């Protein structure tokens, strides 16, 4: 009998960015892997052929990233229910907040009773979150937990919160150390290669090059770095500093306007989408990740793996791997003065201290290695498989009982 499993997210690039190891694990267990997402999401290039090339069956659904687009998400729910019935999916593994909402409701409503796995990439009701988040999102998660067989979290704070949720009978909670850091891809660049790449970017050897990697949106909070740079400019300390941002998003026009208004056009470069992120990060003297919230923050881990220190906002994600002064610096997300101090501190280090800091950065990411994440996901999918078999046996017994009546 063929085994089918559905991976569900909101955008088409999620699988290619984060789920390839999970796909390989499921395929090794004998599953045909299906992927449902909004394959027409305008912020990304649709890549069905690359998905198919990995042996995955892609399906477009009208899911929206915003939970408030009710018409789109209702259609997505109906579409997912059709997929679950048509392919008799044994399990569904859903990601992202709206994916978790649609996927778990579908799992509850589907007559096939699939096993439901949800990976929470950062609960919205985190410690210090606005009161609205606590009032709006916690009750939703509490109720959806009742339809969840396995809940996977990616940081300690969320893991503790998940342990208090009322999962389905026999449900389990796992903590995953991120989606798996590939330390072969993200490793320190040889000095000669680094020098050539910086030259191509137009960054002089003596310049201090800061880099952020992330979508251009409110949560990524790039504005706090612009304010920090403005403060350094007013103090006459900005000369020789360059700042680049790799990423695209709806906030680009706003950022472009703010860069011009602050007189930072010669300092800040918006690089847009870049396929060469390891090389970009390896060119930097430090990276900046000022997000208001992060479930973990893989970009920060990737920077550390390359020996590049991180200047980050202090949130539940960065606290998992950042230690002030050991592998970088942490400040509140709304503290531009702190970020300005951090930039000045990192820039002022001599070569010996920078080398020691770089070595500590590389050493600090060992617990987040790809092998560690794969070991946890292997346990998750083994538990999922056990529950799928149990459910199949229950259905078989039910059919036999019906035949006796």
Full set of structural domains in the chain with CATH: 3-180+369-404 (3.40.50.2000), 191-368 (3.40.50.2000)
Distance CA 78, CA 62 (A): 10
Yes or no: say if 241 and 343 are a contact pair by the CB < 8 Å rule. Answer: yes
Distance CA 338, CA 290 (A): 11
Distance CA 5, CA 3 (A): 7
Mean pLDDT of the chain: 93
Quote the pLDDT of residue 227: 98
Quote the pLDDT of residue 401: 55
- Per-residue pLDDT of 148-202, as tens digits, reads 999 999 999 999 999 999 999 999 999 999 888 999 999 999 999 999 999 999 9
State the sign of the Cα–Cα–Cα–Cα dihedral 196, 244, 313, 98.
negative
328-331: strand order across its sheet:
268-272, 241-246, 208-213, 286-289, 310-313, 328-331
Residue 6 β-bridge partners? 34, 92
Quote the pLDDT of residue 353: 95
- Check pLDDT > 50 for residue 44: no
172-175: strand order across its sheet:
57-60, 31-38, 3-11, 91-95, 115-120, 150-153, 172-175
Quote the pLDDT of residue 126: 85
Instruction: Work out whether strand 268-272 and strand 241-246 pair parallel, antiparallel, or are unpaired.
Output: parallel
- E strands, 262-398, are 268-272, 286-289, 310-313, 328-331
pLDDT band at 43 (very low <50, low <70, confident <90, very high): very low
324: DSSP letter: B
Quote the pLDDT of residue 129: 82
pLDDT band at 405 (very low <50, low <70, confident <90, very high): low
Predicted TM-score (pTM) of the model is 0.86
Stretch 317-342: mean pLDDT:
96
- Check pLDDT > 50 for residue 101: yes
């Amino acid at each position: 009998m063929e085994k089918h499993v559905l991976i569900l997210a909101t955008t088409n690039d999620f699988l290619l960015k984060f789920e390839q190891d999970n796909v390989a694990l499921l395929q090794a267990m004998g599953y045909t892997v299906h992927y449902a997402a909004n394959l027409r999401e305008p912020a990304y290039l649709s890549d069905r052929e690359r998905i198919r090339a990995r042996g995955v069956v892609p399906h477009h659904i009208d899911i929206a990233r915003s939970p408030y687009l009710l018409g789109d998400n209702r259609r997505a729910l109906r579409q997912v229910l059709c997929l679950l019935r048509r392919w008799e999916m044994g399990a569904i593994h859903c990601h992202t907040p709206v994916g978790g909402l649609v996927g778990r409701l579908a799992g509850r409503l589907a007559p096939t009773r699939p096993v439901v796995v949800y990976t929470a990439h950062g609960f919205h009701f985190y410690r210090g979150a606005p009161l609205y988040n606590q009032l709006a999102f916690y009750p939703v998660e509490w109720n959806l937990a009742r339809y969840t067989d396995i809940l996977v979290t990616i940081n300690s704070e969320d893991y503790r919160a998940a342990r208090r949720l009322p999962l389905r009978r026999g449900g389990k909670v796992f903590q995953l150390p991120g989606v798996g850091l590939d330390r072969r891809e993200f490793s320190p660049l040889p000095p000669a290669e680094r020098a050539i790449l910086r030259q191509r970017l137009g960054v002089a050897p003596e310049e201090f090059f800061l880099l952020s990697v992330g979508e251009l949106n409110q949560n990524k909070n790039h504005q706090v770095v612009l304010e920090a740079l403005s403060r350094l400019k007013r103090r006459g300390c900005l000369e020789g500093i360059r700042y680049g941002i790799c990423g695209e998003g709806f906030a680009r026009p706003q950022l472009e306007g703010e860069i011009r208004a602050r007189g930072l056009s010669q300092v800040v470069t918006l690089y847009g989408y870049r396929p060469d992120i390891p090389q970009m990060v390896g060119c930097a003297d430090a990276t900046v990740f000022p997000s208001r919230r992060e479930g973990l923050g893989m970009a920060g881990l990737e920077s550390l793996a390359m020996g590049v220190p991180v200047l980050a906002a202090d949130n539940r994600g960065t606290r998992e791997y950042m230690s002030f002064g050991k592998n970088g610096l942490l400040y509140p997300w709304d503290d531009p003065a702190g970020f300005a101090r951090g930039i000045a501190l990192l820039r002022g280090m001599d070569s010996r201290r920078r080398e020691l800091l770089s070595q500590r950065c590389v050493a600090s990411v060992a617990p987040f290695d790809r092998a560690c994440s794969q070991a946890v996901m292997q346990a998750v999918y083994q538990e999922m498989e056990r529950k799928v078999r149990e459910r199949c046996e229950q259905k078989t017994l039910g059919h036999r009982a019906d035949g006796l009546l």
